[in-house]
Structure 1
Amino acid sequence: MKFTESMLNNYSQPLSNTEDQQCKNAINMVINSIKPLGFQEKSTSLEKMYSDTYSYYQVLESTSNNRKIKVFLQGSYANNTNVRTQSDVDIAVVEEDIFTTHYRQGVSDANYGFVNAQPRSQSFKDEIEIALTNTFGSDVSRENKSIKINGNSYRKDADAVPCRRYKDFSFDYYDNPTNYVGGIVINADSGEEIINYPEQHIRNGKEKNVATNHYYKKMVRIMKKMRYLMKDNGVSSASGVSSFALESLLWNIPNEYYLEFKDCRKVFMFSKLIEYLNSHSYALDTFKEANGIKLLCPNRDMLNNMKSFINSLITFYEYE
């Protein structure tokens, strides 16, 4: 399929002002739904975790005890890498006062003075689901990892993700309770436990974008659009990789490679990035997610899927 410079310029466009406001509306409505549980905002308005992103967040504190919740946008909207065919906004709802820990060998909760939390009558996910249902009614549906809220003209479709703070103390040798790598733990209804690092993803994406003269996120939007076009054209390998994986794939390309082609047309720069990925496919098993922590292809199936997608993209993408 042949692509022109004007087509790629269109694909690379960032979030519109209207979409930005819809994202703010979605997160504010989630926050307002939680407040009747006995919480109040720590600050008067939404803030951004990092400038040059849409990583809006708000910290809620209990009015009667030490409970604390952090609500923030994550995923493509927070990273400003969404494309027009992506509609759902991911909103993390993080329980901060109860957390999951990981230590180096020979270390336990006792070293840090942590104690086991007392069990509650209902899970955190149940609690958030009830609060959202009280606000959005039949627009709410429970899913394996999240709680979906149907959107309208005022707000985006949203996936609220109730989760718990994850604290990895593996590299702390001073028993310092503040010296940890922080992530989130999602306890899916299926019983699966998923550890993610969305805040690091947002930070790393911002830094990569600045370091590449703001071409990184433009190329990510183009890559995501290519995936959707490939799916529409029956390219089966496009279904074997996620938009998040492709964002991470481009994050692994060295900054200097973007800068080398910064004065070229986008159609040419994108072709050179594909060439880089193809010539470095032998190293895919060392690539990291954009958070810089987890492996991008941790198993053979994911590695093969990524290689297959890159091979298909080489054939699919032509430019004028």
Structure 2
Amino acid sequence: MKFSEEKLRLFAAPLSETEDQKCKNAIGMVRDALKDIGFTDDGKTIEKLYADTYSYSLEMRNATKNRKVKLFVKGSYANNTNVRTESDVDIAVVLESTFKVKYRPNINDAKYGFSNSTDNVMTFKDDVEDALRKKFGSDVERKNKSIKIHGNTYRVDADAVPCMRHRDYSNDYNSDPNNFIGGIFIRSDDGQTIINYPEQHIRNGREKNNQTNTYYKKMVRIIKKMRYIMQDENYESANNVSSFGLESLLWNLPNGVFTKYTIYRYAFGEITEYLWKNSHMLPFYKEANGIKPLCESTIDVEKYTRFIKDLYNFYEYDI
């Protein structure tokens, strides 16, 4: 399918400033609900993790239950790579005062002065759900990994993800409680446990974008849009990769691939050609957080290889 420069520029454009307010409002919704069950923000305002992102954040505490939490916008809105304005705003609701840990061999809690807690992530999820239901009533729906707040004419759709801080001390050799890699630990209702690194994702994407004269996120928006178009054209491979996966895929590419051309149709052509010629590198690629592998199995490698091949053959540009 042929794409004009005008069409690609449309695909590459970031969402409007109204999306910025949408993210801030979503944080405010969760904040107000938590206040109704005893949390306080101590008068702090909602601020961005980074000035040039939409990832708003706020810390709160509940003295009665001795809980500290951090709220922040994550996902495509936080990274300003969203291409569908109807998408939900994802909000991490992170329990910081109780956390999961990973140590080096033969290291335990006592080495760091930690003690066991009766608090846990599922109890926390129940409490967050209760707070949201008290605030928004029947518009709240519990999902496997999140709690959805259905929007209306004056409120945005949002997915609150109750989780617990994950602290990885594998590279700490001084028993320093503050020297950890911080992720989030999610336990789904069906028993799955997931560890993700959304804050590193936001930071790395921002750095990559600055290093490529903002072409990284432009090309991410284009490839996400291409995936949706390929789905409409019945390309099965487009159903087997995720938007986050494609954002991560491009994060692994050398900066020079993004900056070789300023014309969008040539720049994206350079992306597709590089991916096609270097698909053998897929087993070595990381997620955009720089920590987890993009492909955890040979099946994942095959899925991305097929998508890259189909994209390479699908994409053409008008001269």
Alignment TM-score, normalising by the size of structure 2: 0.97
* Percent of matched pairs sharing the same residue: 55
Counting only pairs closer than 5 Å after superposition, residues 80-229 of structure 1 correspond to structure 2 as: 80-84=80-84, 87-119=87-119, 123-229=123-229
Correspondence 1:53 to 2:53:
yes
Letter in 2 for 1:232: D
Is the 1:201–1:292 Cα contact (8 Å) retained in structure 2? Answer: yes
Mapped contact 2:121–2:186 kept (Cα < 8 A)? no
Judged with a 3 Å threshold, the aligned counterparts in structure 2 of structure 1 residues 31 and 308 are, in CA distance, closer, same or farther, namely same
- The one-letter code matched in structure 2 to 1:316 is F
Matches within 5 A, 1:231-270: 231-261=231-261, 263=262, 265-270=263-268
Moved more, 29-38 or 185-194: 29-38
1:317 aligns with 2:315: yes
Structure 2, unaligned runs of 5 or more: none
Secondary structure of 1:39's match? Answer: coil
Given that 2:121 and 2:163 are in contact with CA atoms closer than 8 Å, whether structure 1 keeps it comes out as no
C-alpha separation between the residues in 2 aligned to 1:165 and 1:120? 11
Partners in 2 of 1:11 and 1:119 — Cα distance? 45
Alpha-carbon distance between aligned partners in 2 of 1:212 and 1:274, rounded to the nearest angstrom: 17
Give the SS at the match of 1:38.
coil
- The CA deviation at 1:155 is 3.1
CA contact (8 A) 2:121 2:187 kept: no
Q: Secondary structure at the match of 1:288?
A: coil
Match of 1:286 among 271, 281, 284: 284
Q: Structure 1 pair 178/48, CA: closer, same or farther in 2 (3 Å)? A: same
| Higher deviation after alignment, 68-77 or 300-309 | 300-309
- SS in structure 2 opposite 1:41? coil
Contact residue 200 and residue 291 of structure 1 kept, 8 A: yes
Shift of the alpha carbon at 1:234?
0.8
Contact 2:259/2:267, CA 8 A, preserved across alignment: no
* Gap regions ≥5 residues in structure 1: none
Q: Deviations over 1:12-37 (max 9, x none)?
A: 11121222212211110111001122
Q: What amino acid maps onto 2:218 in structure 1?
A: K
CA distance in 2, matches of 1:121, 1:2: 49
Q: Which runs of 4+ in 1 moved over 3 A?
A: 63-66, 119-122
Conservation of the 8 A alpha-carbon contact between 1:54 and 1:73: yes
**Structure 1 residues 47, 164: closer, same or farther in 2, change over 3 A?**
same
TM-aligned CA distance change 1:3 to 1:244, over 3 Å: same
Q: Report which stretch shifted further, 225-234 or 114-123.
A: 114-123
Give the match's secondary structure for 1:40. coil
Q: Which amino acid aligns with 1:290?
A: A
Which digits, 9 at most, give the CA deviation of each residue in 1:78-110, with x for residues without a partner? 000000255111100000000000000010101
- Please report the RMSD computed on the Cα atoms of aligned residues, expressed in angstroms: 1.4
